[in-house]
Structure 1
Amino acid sequence: MKKIECVIMDWAGTAVDYGCFAPVSAFIESFNAIGISITAEEARRPMGLTKIDHIRALFQMERIGEAFYQKYGRKYNETDVQGRYAEFQRLLFATLREYTGPISGVIQTIDTLRCRGIKIGSTTGYTKEMMDVVVPAAAENGYRVDNYVTSDNLPAGRPYPYMIYKNMCDLGVPSRFSVLKYGDTISDIKEGLNAGVWTVGVILGSNELGLTEDEVQKMPAEELKKRMMEVRERMYAAGAHYVVESIEELPALIDCINTRMANE
């Protein structure tokens, strides 16, 4: 019988770093260093890509590319991309460990899934060097996965499916129908869809919502509901099979997916 045997988690904004703030601030400051202001919304838009591709995506935005041209009298080039990436890394590594606390409900839910025999894999837009900071720091806070994969030494990162396939190989999961990808960005959703696996987006704590936990708690109910609905609609428009408010919904959702597959 087909059933979910493996959940593949994203990291920042999904499992740790509520609101996905570590990379956002580093992207903003890396561009500020050359006199180009970018907004948090712009910084978040390509989130989930490998970080070098994220830098390229920022330069490719019409407003940012034009701002660079107006300041420097030329179009940006790959040297500029590499320069911003180097500065991004310097800024990120200075604070990355501070953003490795697990999001509420994650540890308990992962324990529940493990008790069911479900394997926990993961993919990320971070490099291996970045994950060498994140993984042990998250473990100190109680969050562990069975496997993590970066795009290092793979053909590409998100939205391509290679990191999911590598998890399947590493964890011995033979069928894509037994895999569920869970993440907080549009890139996560595209990665899951391109791999042909069940794909679930999460709203609270996500990059797409872009709020701290304190901001969520203090926001007027109607405004929060509106913002969450906008995220839900974007994720479904991107092709997500399901969208949940928080990870606590995941075990029951997996039961529904298992029943759905059993009845097909």
Structure 2
Amino acid sequence: MTIAAVLFDWAGTMVDFGSRAPVAAMQRVFTAAGVPVSDAVVRRYMGQAKREHVEAMLAEEDVAARWQQAHGSEWTSADVDRLMDELEPAMAAEAVATAALIPGALDTLAALRARGIRVGSTTGYTRTMMAGIVPRAAEQGYAPEVIVCAGETAAGRPAPLMLWKALVEMGVWPACRAVAIDDANVGIEAGRHAGCWTVGVAASGNGMGLSLADYAALSDDERMARLRGVAEGFAAAGADVVVPSVADLSQALDIIEARIATGLRPGDEECAFLLD
């Protein structure tokens, strides 16, 4: 058995180094509602479907208290509806502005084609939020054959349903012939639940949370310390391999294929860290 498909996340994995668009959009909408939120609060729930993301933030004790103080009542489902109405265009605008491919992504796509591996994708963004990203990515050379968005399955991450939907649409089975690549722990959890191999990208995504320029400006020691911290979170979530970014995916696939050749299945061995 060999790897038949990879399923990429989008922001922080294939586009938007640092996964900055969701943070900027969430902060803009919550600030407008009179309840500013920190970068850390937004990133705590990254990777979930955006409505679930909003609800998780509102459920935090501090945010809930400040919402009640600002609005005179506890938040309700109707408040979430209003926030989502504002978040859709805010996310769409921020996402288009940060839709540049992660460096090395195109080389990785070429390597996947050479290995006969198909490419699909899932995202915590809604279809509306993706409307501007998809053509921009295509202009840069990235056009996965399947895109499954938040809200198109009964549950989002960490449920495996989006990954399963992508595999069904691609006709790929069993799930252990697929590799899920994500920049957030919740995406790794979804891959584990789905029965896929999982690869975490530590430098370009939510855990690091830095622009490409800021990441490059880190000292070698600080960069490695932060990479290892992110990688440990991925390992705890069940990742099979952790790499800095999609530029390093071929090495991760080599490890996975070697494990497959010896009869191993996802999660059978400890996480392999390819950070040096």
**Which interval holds the TM-score relative to the shorter structure?**
over 0.9
Q: CA deviation at 1:180?
A: 0.4
**Residues 126-181 of structure 1: CA deviation (Å, up to 9, x unaligned):** 11122222111111122221211113342122111111111111111121110100
Matched, 1:260 2:253: no
Higher RCO (C-alpha under 8 Å, 6+ residues apart): 1
Deviation beyond 4 Å, 4+ runs, structure 1 = none
Aligned with 2:147: secondary structure?
coil
Q: Is the 8 A contact 1:182 1:199 kept in 2?
A: yes
- The offset of 1:84, in angstroms, is 1.5
Number of the residue aligned with 1:232: 231
Aligned AA (1:29): R
Q: Which amino acid aligns with 1:125?
A: G
| Residue 167 (structure 1) aligns with | 166
Distance 1:195 1:206 in 2: 21
The code of the aligned residue for 1:184 comes to D
CA distance in 1, matches of 2:121, 2:237: 20
Distance 1:93 1:168 in 2: 26
Q: Deviations over 1:20-56 (max 9, x none)?
A: 1111101001110121111011111111111111110
Q: Contact 1:3–1:177 at 8 Å: present in 2 too?
A: no
Shift of 1:251: 1.4
SS at match of 1:156: coil
SS of 1:173's partner is coil
One-letter code aligned to 1:194:
H
Give 1:136's aligned amino acid.
P
Whether 1:137 and 2:136 are equivalent positions in the alignment is yes
Residues 38-187 of structure 1 mapped to structure 2, 5 A cutoff: 38-187=37-186
Please tell me the residue identity of whatever aligns with 1:201: G
Q: Secondary structure at the match of 1:7?
A: strand
Q: Show CA shifts across 1:82-114 (max 9, x none).
A: 121112123223333211110001111011111
Aligned residue for 2:123, secondary structure, equals coil
Q: Which moved more, 1:178-187 or 1:60-69?
A: 60-69
Matched residue, 1:4: 3
Answering whether residue 188 of structure 2 is matched by residue 189 of structure 1, we say yes
What TM-score does the superposition give when structure 2 sets the normalisation length?
A: 0.91
Query: How far does residue 74 in structure 1 lie from its aligned partner after superposition?
Result: 2.3
Deviations 1:166-215 (A, max 9, x none): 11111111211101000100121111011011011001110111000100
Name 2:245's counterpart in structure 1.
Answer: 246
Deviates more, 1:238-247 or 1:90-99: 90-99
SS of equivalent residue, structure 2 residue 131 = helix
- The reply on whether 1:214 has 2:213 as its aligned counterpart is yes
How far apart are the structure 1 equivalents of 2:252 and 2:96? 32
How far apart are the structure 2 equivalents of 1:136 and 1:148?
12
Cα distance in structure 1, aligned partners of 2:90 and 2:248: 35
Instruction: Please state whether the residue corresponding to 1:129 is helix, strand or coil.
Output: helix
Q: Shift of the alpha carbon at 1:72?
A: 2.9
| Equivalent residue, structure 2, for 1:13 | 12
Q: Helix, strand or coil for the counterpart of 2:148? A: coil
In structure 2, give the amino acid aligned to 1:98. A
**Count of residue pairs brought into register by the alignment:** 263
Q: Is the 8 A contact 2:35 2:63 kept in 1?
A: yes
Give the % identical residues: 36
AA matched with 1:114: R
Whether the 8 Å contact between 2:10 and 2:122 is mirrored in structure 1 is: yes
Q: Give distance in 1, aligned partners of 2:216 and 2:79.
A: 40
CA distance in 2, matches of 1:210, 1:93: 19
Q: Any unmatched runs of 5+ in structure 1?
A: none
Deviation at 1:64, TM superposition (A): 0.7
